[in-house]
Amino acid sequence: MNPPLLTRLEGPVARLKLNRPALHNAFDAGLIAALTDALEGLGRDEAVRVVVVEAEGASFSAGADLNWMRGMAAASEAENREDSLALARLMRTLDELPKPTLARVHGAAFGGGVGLVACCDIAIGARGAKFGLTESRLGLLPAVISPYVVEAIGAREARRWFATAEIFDAGVAARIGLLHEVVEPDALDDAVERQVALLLKAGPVASASAKALVRQVASHADRDRHDADNAALIARLRVSPEGQEGLSAFLDKRSPGWS
C-alpha cells in the first residue's frame, strides 16, 4: 500500500506531497495524521528553512474522503469531535509552523484542501485550478478550517462561499486573497521555485518569525504595547548573529552567509 504522504528533502527545502492520487488526495484519518506528524517534525528540524506542500495526480485535494465521511456519519458525536480535533491540530500546525510554507496548487482544491492553501504563507495556483467550500451542500459547514479561510479571504467573501458552496476558479481565488499568484500550468514549478529562492535569500530567523509578527500585529488592540513589542523585536534582531551578518553584508556589498 502506498504511503498517503511523500516527504522529500532538497537541502534546506522540504517537500510534502499528498499521495492519494486515485482519490484526488482526499483527506482521511491516515493522511491527516501523516501530514501532522511530518509538519511537527519539520518544525523542529533546524536544517529545514522552507516547506512546500504539493500533491500527486490530477488534484491538490478534493476535501474529505467519501468512505471516511460515511464512517464518521455513523460514529458518535464524541467520536466526531475527536476526529475534527485531529483536523484542527493539522491546520494549526501548518498555520503556526516556524518555517515559511508554500502551497503549489493544481487541479481541484475543495474543503480541507482549501484549508491547507489558506494556512500556507504563500499560495501559487495553476490557471484552471478549481476551488470550493462545498460543505453546505451536505448540510455542513467548513467549521474547522474557517479561522484560516476567513483570515485569508475576509469575512464578507467567506459569508458568500460558505453559504453557496459555489465552485470558483483560480482567478477568483487570487482576487479574494486565497492565492497570491496564478500562472499557466507549465509555469507552476518555475513560479514555486522563484518564491523558494526568495525565501532562501532572507535571513532564516527573520523569515521564520515573519508569520508570528503578522499574527501579533493583527491581534493587538493596545497600540502602546504593539509599539513596545515591535521595538523590542527589531532591537533583538539587530543585535542577533543573523542581524549582525545581514547588516554587515549589506554595508560590505556582499551576500550574507545564509544566502
Which three three-digit cell numbers place residue 170? 483560480
**199: exposed, middle or buried (Cβ count in 10 Å: 0-12, 13-18, 19+):** buried
Out of 62-71, 154-163, 207-216, pick the least confident: 62-71
Maximum CA extent, the chain: 66
pLDDT band per the 50, 70, 90 thresholds, residue 249: confident
Strand order in the sheet with 181-183: 5-10, 13-18, 50-55, 101-105, 122-126, 181-183
Out of 14-28, 72-86, 131-145, 168-182, pick the least confident: 72-86
CATH class, range 5-199:
alpha beta
State yes or no: pLDDT of 77 exceeds 90.
no
State yes or no: pLDDT of 234 exceeds 80.
no
Model confidence pLDDT, tens digit, residues 151-187: 999 999 999 999 999 999 999 999 999 999 999 999 9
d(CA 79, CA 94): 23
d(CA 155, CA 178): 13
- What's the chain's average pLDDT? 91
Domain ranges of the chain: 5-199, 203-252
Query: How confident is the model over 84-102, as a mean pLDDT?
Result: 94
| pTM of the shown model | 0.90
Q: What is the pLDDT of residue 226?
A: 65
Out of 4-18, 21-35, 212-226, pick the least confident: 212-226
